[in-house]
Structure 1
């Protein structure tokens, strides 16, 4: 069904309906209206009714969660839209922020802070002025359409969410088909070889891949193609202290080593030499 209008509630704006509208705007490019729905809106399959209306009926393009019982698993309007698109599970796996956003919207800041294991005040300190401004400006509108600055920002946000979720799944499949685990001394290191064609971000998805195969607690470092040259980047994984790349900064084929020792760049491309550099960087 082609959506020709997105409708969400007026008044204060929250992250869940804002992001849900972003995703829908990215797909359909239609007007967003902020008003209370009438029955005709709920019955109109071409109108996506988001976070209001008391119905979750994706066949009629209705995406509200407020009618769910108190003990229902926390899901928000964005969750329902992602479910309808068939990418919710991937989004939950790849977007670390999503479950927090769901809980914040459904259970509030105090409960969410407790779930995160932090004080309520600490959670407040993580709020970005970007969030504040976008939600405040969205709350002040009654309608938004293509070409308006806020609408185009929302469309960018939606496009990036969709692209991240959809491309990361493909990226993980690519990594699984090409990456190998090296054993260097006492360490395990993930090696991503140079391929043709090369992904735009050669190191993207490597950490997620290690999590997916249950090796994120075992691997100490990663080696991956340097997108700025023909060599490789070497980095700690999860800031593992067993690797210090300051130890190789004087090697002729190492052209960069960060002062804090967590990453280095080398022109070397031969497997033997890369293993040698890792051995030299190992903290005994």
Structure 2
């Protein structure tokens, strides 16, 4: 397996971190993910045990989800000593804050807030906040969750030779890269998107258009949903038009599954390579903005009075 583990000297927030300490016993999502971030950034061993006073006083040792201290300068990231009415921050939140990614993670990682609630408030309160039945929480778990947490919990020490540690570094790397590249993409989109108004016989359709450019050729649609939400336009946009990653043309998509558009209505059009039978997406060959607008107009669902 080719795996790059970032050494301390490569870390963007350089510090000579030597060790990560977290609690023994059962593992939870917050300590697993917090340690995954730190393992990716520093490439040092993880020990699952109670920290010593020397660990807590040593800024070269990251103490995670145990120890009763939150002190980022000393790399201590525990939340259990916070008062009952404190914001629902878990160990993962504290590590994300320390590496400067918490606000973006809270905005763009839908899984973070429920993870905080579950770890700090418990399953009953979490289910209420998520507005789902308590029993539904168990349905959201997968064999991936159970296997990774159980394997992590079964070790007293993990290092770069451990398959579990290697997976943790991958998880941490993906979270960090996603958040850092997403911020770059949001800045790019702010400069380059266009908002189209498509006139219809009823209310106009609002669409977001992104032109094909080399800078976004690998994943042209990345960040579009997050951008729309960050701009507060989630209740205005009905469609997105972005370069097709799989072909030379554009993809037309319903935003938030807007029922005002049904792209199966244009499946026979000469410019349409593919239109999903359920109407939520189409792939087209044309690059002409006027023709793209016309295709959007043809896909509008007309209400029968």
Equivalent in the alignment of 2:210 = 192
Answering whether residue 193 of structure 2 is matched by residue 179 of structure 1, we say yes
Question: Could you give the per-residue CA deviations for residues 16-38 of structure 1, whole angstroms, max 9, x where no partner exists?
Answer: 11000000000001101001111
Instruction: Please report the TM-score for the alignment, with normalisation by the length of structure 2.
Output: 0.91
Q: Structure 2 stretches of 5 or more lacking a match?
A: 1-14
**Which residue of 128, 136, 145 corresponds with 1:131?**
145
Deviating more after overlay: 197-206 vs 242-251: 197-206
Alpha carbons 2:263, 2:281 under 8 Å: kept: yes
Question: Could you give the per-residue CA deviations for residues 209-258 of structure 1, whole angstroms, max 9, x where no partner exists?
Answer: 11122211111100000112220000000000111000110011211111
Alpha carbons 2:217, 2:245 under 8 Å: kept: no
Equivalent in the alignment of 1:254 = 272
1 CA distance for matches of 2:75 and 2:16?
10
**Which residue of 27, 30, 33 corresponds with 1:19?**
33
Question: Could you give the per-residue CA deviations for residues 83-115 of structure 1, whole angstroms, max 9, x where no partner exists?
Answer: 111111111111111111011000111110011
Q: Structure 1 stretches of 5 or more lacking a match?
A: none
Question: SS at the partner of 1:74?
Answer: coil
Question: SS at the partner of 2:160?
Answer: coil
Total equivalences in the alignment: 284
2 CA distance for matches of 1:3 and 1:282?
57
Equivalent in the alignment of 1:34 = 48
1 CA distance for matches of 2:193 and 2:216?
13
Q: Aligned-residue CA RMSD in angstroms?
A: 0.9
Equivalent in the alignment of 1:226 = 244
The offset of 1:41, in angstroms, is 1.0
Equivalent in the alignment of 2:289 = 271
2 CA distance for matches of 1:144 and 1:8?
11
The offset of 1:196, in angstroms, is 2.9
Equivalent in the alignment of 1:8 = 22
Question: SS at the partner of 2:238?
Answer: strand
2 CA distance for matches of 1:141 and 1:16?
17
The offset of 1:198, in angstroms, is 2.5
Instruction: Please report the TM-score for the alignment, with normalisation by the length of structure 1.
Output: 0.98
2 CA distance for matches of 1:222 and 1:116?
28
The offset of 1:147, in angstroms, is 2.6
Equivalent in the alignment of 2:109 = 95
Instruction: Provide runs of 4+ in structure 1 moved above 3 Å.
Output: none
1 CA distance for matches of 2:23 and 2:106?
25
2 CA distance for matches of 1:212 and 1:91?
13
2 CA distance for matches of 1:275 and 1:43?
62
1 CA distance for matches of 2:143 and 2:78?
27
Question: SS at the partner of 1:96?
Answer: coil
Equivalent in the alignment of 2:161 = 147
Question: SS at the partner of 2:283?
Answer: strand
**Which residue of 80, 87, 100 corresponds with 1:73?**
87
2 CA distance for matches of 1:50 and 1:271?
52
Equivalent in the alignment of 2:171 = 157
